[in-house]
Amino acid sequence: MHNLTLPISEEQIRQLRVGDTVSLTGTIYTARDAAHKYMVENFIQGEPPATEREMLAELEQGLSGGVIYHCGPIVRKDESGKWHFVAAGPTTSIREEPYEYQVIERFGVRAVIGKGGMADKTLQACGDHGAVYLHAIGGAASLIARSVVEVIGLFKEEFGLPEAFWKIRVEDFQCVVTMDSHGGSLHKEVEALSERNLQEILK
């Protein structure tokens, strides 16, 4: 088990290989489809609008050496107005493939958490910039929520609560490295094995 405290250095990421288990402690951000589209359109494709510079500063500070979690949480607000995660399961990551490689490069993201894996552009970005893809346990949303010890901030609430950015503090958030910074991808391996088995069955 690799115990990593955020922010994470490139050196630490380069030590990880497919199949390694990781425990994360520190501040991470959730981001799904709307959040990724927003980051690319506002902060990567052109000059950031003046109205979005505060959010840009937040992401530049928080994502450098940081982690993006593909998650649309179920949340509740207590009587004092404080948010809590009730369920925090991973979202299917491939939907972010058109955006993720750009986000990794622009913001210095060190790890992306989700389920199902990602494709060639993200794998290339992991190698070029020192990042990994971490697989969280699908179907264990309430269990994962126990690792979320504090909701620090909510950004872009107008996207809807599942699609908004949530800034959270986690402790002992356990994942498995399934795409590393050395070109390794467990998802590609499984796909290739499945294809070989299928061809054997069809013979």
Q: Which two tokens stand for residue 111?
A: 């790890």
Read off the pLDDT of residues 145-174 as tens digits, 9 standing for 90 and up. Answer: 999 999 999 999 999 999 999 999 999 999
Domain range annotation of the chain: 2-202
Q: From CA 193, how far away is CA 203, in angstroms rounded?
A: 16
CB 2 within 8 A of CB 176: no
Strand partners, 108: none
- Convert the pLDDT of each residue in 106-144 to its tens digit: 999 999 999 999 999 999 999 999 999 999 988 889 999
Residues marked as catalytic = 36
Q: What angle do CA 18, 19, 24 make, to 5 degrees?
A: 95
- Shortest CA distance to 95 belongs to which of 178, 159, 168, 34? 34
pLDDT score of 86 more than 80: yes
What contacts 32, CB < 8 A, 6 or more positions away? 70, 71, 72, 91, 95, 96, 162, 163
User: pLDDT digits over 19-49, tens only?
Assistant: 999 999 999 999 999 999 999 999 999 888 8
* pTM beyond cutoff 0.85: yes
Per-residue pLDDT at 202: 59
Helix segments in the chain, DSSP class H? 10-14, 33-43, 53-63, 97-107, 120-129, 141-145, 186-202
Q: What was the pLDDT predicted at 47?
A: 86
Instruction: Give the class (CATH, top level) of 2-202.
Output: alpha beta
198 vs 40, residue with greater confidence: 40
Residue % of the chain over a pLDDT of 90: 86
